[in-house]
Chain A
Amino acid sequence: MGLYKKYNGKLKYKGTIRNFLLAAVLLTIALVTLFPIYYMVISSFGAPTEAGGASYSLIPKQFTLNSYKFFFSFSAHSFRWILNSLLVASVVTISNVIFATLAGYAFAKLRFPGCKVFFFVLLVAMMVPYQVTQVPLYILVVNVLKIQDTYMALVAPTLVTCYNVFLAKQFFTSLPTSIMESAKIEGCSQPMIVWKIVVPLSKTILSVMAIMTFLGEWNTFFWPFLVCNSEAMQTVQVGLKNFSFANTTYFAPMMAGATVSALPMFILFFSLQKYFLEGVTVGAVKG
């Protein structure tokens, strides 16, 4: 028995009707949530005119790839924006997985002076709103280090996030210590323990971490927007904003760019759905 009543035998039709009604309601809501994405994709096939002349049709009246061409020829760097995003997101993801794993393991399974203090500081740091650090970080990167408009500036602040270290630590704590103890007795060094024992046992959580980090970094707008002035160094999210001017917007080309930038994420999502959906619940649901 579950939350819903089970109908058997003659009354089975009742269950069918109920499920049908529920499905109809859910489908309606899904149509609403998916609508902006649908609208983004169909309007990208429209003609690359300025906003004023565009029409608001729900069904594509025409099908041209001109807006895509327009997007890539709009700026000399359109293509580079995507490469920049790819590079930044990849580097951040790889470094997060490596360093969060190592640190998470240290916090979960190794004993060292200051362990508790460091971890506590980490927890507090996670709760600091980004508004507090944004101005000093900007000053640090632009005025002190003078690395504005470099990949370094884009990547460095998120090289390892406290959240990922915390996530890794939480998961590694649940691994049986005895395996690591016996490996140590066999003469396995600490880096080898991480590589040969911890990593293979934690593939799921590490994949989740990688995917969520990549997704987050790919969609980041704020930081690249702040530290990148030259068009060549913008990421695709910042680049999209170039299609909007004070009085007008190149809507169809912008949507073409938006579709191009969303495509890798959608492909990733549909091939790795399980990890995406699991990723959201990590840390939220006990048990």
Chain B
Amino acid sequence: MKKMKKEAMWAYVFILVPLCTFIVFTLYPVISAAVISFQKYRPLGSEWVGLDNYINTFKNGLFYKALKNTLVYSIITVPVSMLLSFMISIMILPFRKKLQSVFKAAFYLPAIASGVALSFVWKWIYDPLPSGLLNNVVKVFGLSNQNWLGSQKTAMLSLIIMAVFAGLGQNIIIYTAALLGIDSTYYEAADIDGATFFQKVRYVVWPIVKPTTVFLTITGVINGFQSFQNAYLMTGGGPDNATTMAGLLIFNRAFTYFEYGEACAQALILAAIIAVFAVLQFKLSSGDVEY
């Protein structure tokens, strides 16, 4: 019994620092976000306003636009990125380990470079002048000059393309790890049944890596819903809020207009949406996923 107590004592010592950090920098902020969302925050004496912040948010047309933008962004970026990385991971397979690593490194390198730096490079690629890089590329295909980030038609698409390329490496590495873990007996069985290459991909590989796909979808959507940096640095949400996503909306509410209360209300609504989505995803997929 004395031993048990000693063990428990050490356990508390070990979790002390993480627990304090957690209480001060996560738990307290979460609770205080809930409180601030009912207030008109002032550094000296906030005013209690009840549900006003929530009502204002739901009355605000921009809020729905931002949600729609976030949804469009995630719904396109995540599947496209996953499909591409799944195909690339399959194409990597027949090569020797060394060569596989070289390719993986090449695809992963953008994830290591600073996001700020890359967003400025991409801004340069998307330059609206005829001398802009992408404009030079599309000219080859006979397309006219585009104002990629400045036009409502293409701004969101431009951010999506960038996000797909930046996120590819990570997905590829996770997929290849899953693919390499597939037991060769599955392929042997498929071969005996006379399956073609594409049938093997469809009926052997795809079902086996499904848990990985689910994982990538959930984390991808959660990240997509929280995305902020690229839109902030590249378009600032424009043109005409075509690229204002939830993350940017909340940031602007708080740090441009100093409406802390409303920003907190919006953030909590976002969190609720993410939570619902994550649970839904998990429920929908848990039927055929074994953990």
Bound-state CA distance A287–B257 (Å) is 49
Determine whether the beta carbon of B188 is less than 8 Å from that of A136. Answer: no
Closest chain A residue to B200, Cβ basis: A3
Bound-state CA distance A134–B225 (Å) is 15
Bound-state CA distance A99–B21 (Å) is 10
Bound-state CA distance A277–B197 (Å) is 28
Determine whether the beta carbon of B125 is less than 8 Å from that of A39. Answer: yes
B93 is contacted by which of A4, A112, A156, A258 (Cβ under 8 Å)?
A4
Determine whether the beta carbon of B174 is less than 8 Å from that of A281. Answer: yes
Q: Classify the interface of chain A: helix, strand, loop or mixed.
A: helix
Closest chain B residue to A274, Cβ basis: B101
Q: For this complex, into which size category does the number of interface residues on chain A fall?
A: 35 or more
Bound-state CA distance A187–B224 (Å) is 51
Determine whether the beta carbon of B120 is less than 8 Å from that of A240. Answer: yes
**Interface hub of B29, B118, B168 (most chain A Cβ within 10 A):** B29
Which chain A residues lie closer than 8 Å to B201 at the CB level? 3
Bound-state CA distance A133–B154 (Å) is 32
Q: A134-B267, A135-B260, A258-B116 are in contact. Are A29 and B121 (CB under 8 A)?
A: no
Count A-B pairs with CB separation below 8 Å. Answer: 304
CB distance from A110 to the nearest CB of B (A): 4
CB distance from B177 to the nearest CB of A (A): 4
Determine whether the beta carbon of B116 is less than 8 Å from that of A269. Answer: no
Determine whether the beta carbon of A1 is less than 8 Å from that of B291. Answer: no
A120 adjacent to chain B (CB < 8 Å): no
Bound-state CA distance A102–B11 (Å) is 8
B62 adjacent to chain A (CB < 8 Å): no
B128 adjacent to chain A (CB < 8 Å): no
Q: A118-B15, A133-B26, A165-B18 are in contact. Are A281 and B91 (CB under 8 A)?
A: no
Which chain B residues lie closer than 8 Å to A197 at the CB level? none
Which chain B residues lie closer than 8 Å to A219 at the CB level? 114-116
Determine whether the beta carbon of B260 is less than 8 Å from that of A237. Answer: no
A251 adjacent to chain B (CB < 8 Å): yes
A11 adjacent to chain B (CB < 8 Å): no
Q: A128-B271, A219-B114 are in contact. Are A29 and B108 (CB under 8 A)?
A: no
Q: A33-B169, A135-B260, A277-B108 are in contact. Are A26 and B92 (CB under 8 A)?
A: yes
CB distance from A201 to the nearest CB of B (A): 17
Which chain A residues lie closer than 8 Å to B237 at the CB level? none
Determine whether the beta carbon of A56 is less than 8 Å from that of B121. Answer: no
A160 is contacted by which of B18, B106, B229 (Cβ under 8 Å)?
B18
Determine whether the beta carbon of A39 is less than 8 Å from that of B124. Answer: yes
Determine whether the beta carbon of B25 is less than 8 Å from that of A131. Answer: no
Bound-state CA distance A76–B131 (Å) is 34
Which chain B residues lie closer than 8 Å to A111 at the CB level? 4, 7-8, 11
Interface segment, one of B30-38, B71-79, B141-149: B30-38
Which chain A residues lie closer than 8 Å to B127 at the CB level? 56
B181 adjacent to chain A (CB < 8 Å): yes
**Interface hub of A4, A55, A113, A270 (most chain B Cβ within 10 A):** A4
Bound-state CA distance A124–B233 (Å) is 30
Determine whether the beta carbon of B30 is less than 8 Å from that of A221. Answer: no
B27 adjacent to chain A (CB < 8 Å): yes
Determine whether the beta carbon of A36 is less than 8 Å from that of B181. Answer: no
B181 is contacted by which of A25, A106, A134, A287 (Cβ under 8 Å)?
A287
Q: Classify the interface of chain B: helix, strand, loop or mixed.
A: helix
Determine whether the beta carbon of B187 is less than 8 Å from that of A221. Answer: no
Count of residues in B whose CB is under 8 Å from the partner chain? 109
B254 adjacent to chain A (CB < 8 Å): yes
Bound-state CA distance A265–B268 (Å) is 35
Bound-state CA distance A25–B91 (Å) is 9
Determine whether the beta carbon of A33 is less than 8 Å from that of B165. Answer: yes
User: For chain A residues 98-123, which have a beta carbon within 8 Å of chain B?
Assistant: 99-100, 102-103, 105-107, 110-113, 115, 118, 121-122
CB distance from A286 to the nearest CB of B (A): 7
Determine whether the beta carbon of B120 is less than 8 Å from that of A254. Answer: yes
Determine whether the beta carbon of A136 is less than 8 Å from that of B113. Answer: no
> A247-287: contact bitstring with B at CB < 8 Å (1 yes, 0 no)?
00101001101110110011001100100110011001111
Determine whether the beta carbon of A258 is less than 8 Å from that of B229. Answer: no
CB distance from A216 to the nearest CB of B (A): 11
Determine whether the beta carbon of B112 is less than 8 Å from that of A32. Answer: no
> A26-59: contact bitstring with B at CB < 8 Å (1 yes, 0 no)?
1001101110110110010000000000011000
Provide a sorted-by-A list of 27 A–B residue pairs whose CB atoms are within 8 angstroms.
Answer: A1-B188, A3-B179, A4-B197, A18-B94, A26-B91, A33-B110, A37-B118, A56-B133, A103-B18, A110-B14, A113-B8, A125-B27, A131-B247, A132-B267, A135-B33, A136-B28, A139-B41, A143-B43, A157-B21, A157-B25, A162-B26, A237-B116, A241-B233, A254-B120, A277-B104, A277-B173, A281-B173
Q: Which residues of A contact B (CB under 8 A)?
A: 1-5, 18-19, 22-23, 25-26, 29-30, 32-34, 36-37, 39-40, 43, 55-56, 95, 99-100, 102-103, 105-107, 110-113, 115, 118, 121-122, 125, 127-140, 143, 156-157, 159-160, 162, 165, 189-191, 194, 215, 218-219, 221-222, 226, 236-238, 240-241, 244, 249, 251, 254-255, 257-259, 261-262, 265-266, 269-270, 273, 276-277, 280-281, 284-287
